[in-house]
Structure formats: C-alpha cells, structure tokens
Amino acid sequence: MINTEDYSTGLIDRDGILFSRDAGEVSYPVNGNESCFQIEDTSFWFKHRNNCITEAVTKYCHSGIFFDIGGGNGFVAQGLENKGILTVIVEPGIQGCLNARKRNLKNIICSTLENVSFKKNTIPAIGLFDVLEHIENDVGYLATIYNLLVEDGLVFITVPAYRTLWSAKDVEAGHFRRYTRKELEEKLKAIGFNIEYSTYIFSVLAVAVFLFRSLPGRFGFIKNSNSLDKKEHQSKKGFINNILSRIWKKEIQNIRNGRKIPFGGSCFFVARKQSV
C-alpha cells in the first residue's frame, strides 16, 4: 500500500478502505456501481475502454503511481495494476469501494475529490474515466485537477461524445453534458494544460447510439435503458464480432502510434500540466 499521508491527511482506515470525514454527493445513480459490476468483466465496451486507457497510460505516463478519480468498482485500476502501474482509487460510493476490494485492490479511498483534501502539486498522474460529464462545473473541477498535479503531471480523460447523441440513458446516468473533442480541448487549454493527445474512440458506436437511443427518444419511444445494459454490452458473435474486433484492434493501434480517430461515441484525452 502507498503512504497516503504524502498526498492527503485526515483519512480514516476502516477495514482496509480509507474514508474522508464526509464522502460527499455525486450526480450518479445509487445502484450505478453495482449495475456496472455485474457486466464489466464480460462487457466488450468496458474491455475496449480499458485497453485504450492502459495503452495510453503505458505510452505517456512514467510516474509509477496513478490516481483513478471516480474509479467505481476498480475495473480500470485492476487493468492498470495488471500492467504494473500502482493505482489509487478515489470513489465516493461505498459499494464501488467494496467491489474494488473484491478485486483485491489495496489502495482505495472512499470520498469525492472535493472532500479528500489532497495536497496541491503532489499527484503525478490522474484518470477521469467517464467522470467529468457527471460534474456540473466541469471547468472548476478540471482547475482543481490542475492544481493537484505536479509540474508536468498528466491527466487522462474519457467522456461521452456529441450532444446529438444525448438520450434518456444520459439522464438516467446523471450526465450534465456530452462533449466534442474540440470543446474539451479548449477548456483544458484555457486552464493551462497542454494537449498531448486527443481522439475519439468507439468509432462505430456513434451511429448505433444515434439510431437506437437518441433518435427513438426524439420521437417519444423512450425505453428503460437500464434493462438493456446486459444485452447491449454482450460481445457479438460470428461475422459481427470479427468486424468489431478488427475495428477495436485498429483503434488501439492508432492510440499506440499517436494517430487520431475522426469520430466515435467517446472522446479520449491526455493532457499535461505546463511547466512553470
């Protein structure tokens, strides 16, 4: 385990999970972590996102320690640790923290970013993986991240793409917005970040989300999207699976080689705190 006093004071250890005095509230469904926990290990979406994240982190980050803010059930952290990257999860939901512990992860903090009281200029690398869309004041949140990072520290971000893909799923998930790559790049630059790399991922899913989520919602055909989760996340079989596997493999190669993907269902960013 890491010495968390190097980064924060006042955390309370309870059965291997560190707690801030007040975990804080977030715009996220109460059962969101448990719903994700049921599908993460078999989901093509979570698997591909993890592959994109680990590819980028191993390419750009050489700090030896990584803080996964809003780390949920520890699925990303587990993938990073399997690559030899020491990872700390900061997750306000107690169920997510307990699920992370089930994955044998050791560095778990139950708190929002605001309440964990991290020291400024101490953290070398931070991940915000499908977190920022849940934050009403995203610019203020990113400014906080900037202040926590060491000089030349890195932040890795994934967010859902395109306002045109907004659907009932976003509302149920507690999202405030979806992004374009250019929009979030501009916000990061205004705070003081340099963009090391940015791209879209899940290229073919943009069309599927529009046709089967966004468009039906516009015509009043709104389904309970939570009931579709397991079916939507199942890997396709046969010919479709072969095509998707090739697309996902190509996206990983693009990230490895620093090439951009022109469109997709999610945006992916690597940004660096500028040297003073």
| Sequence ranges of the domains in the chain | 4-273
pLDDT tens for 227-255 read 445 666 666 667 778 899 999 999 999 99
- Residues linked to residue 90 through DSSP beta bridges, in sequence order: 69, 109
- The answer on pLDDT for 66 being more than 90 is yes
Q: Measure CA 19 to chain center.
A: 21
Please tell me the pTM assigned to this model. Answer: 0.94
CB-based burial label for 34 (10 Å; 0-12, 13-18, 19+) = middle
What does the alpha-carbon distance between residue 196 and residue 120 come to, in Å, rounded to a whole number?
22
Pick from 68, 63, 72: which is nearest to 94 by CA? 72
pLDDT tens for 204-216 read 998 888 887 887 7
CATH code assigned to 4-273? 3.40.50.150
pLDDT tens for 146-184 read 999 999 999 999 999 999 999 999 999 999 999 999 999
Residue 227 has what pLDDT?
A: 44
Distances (CA, A) of 240 to 204, 235, 254: 12, 9, 21
- Residues linked to residue 88 through DSSP beta bridges, in sequence order: 67
- The answer on pLDDT for 223 being more than 60 is no
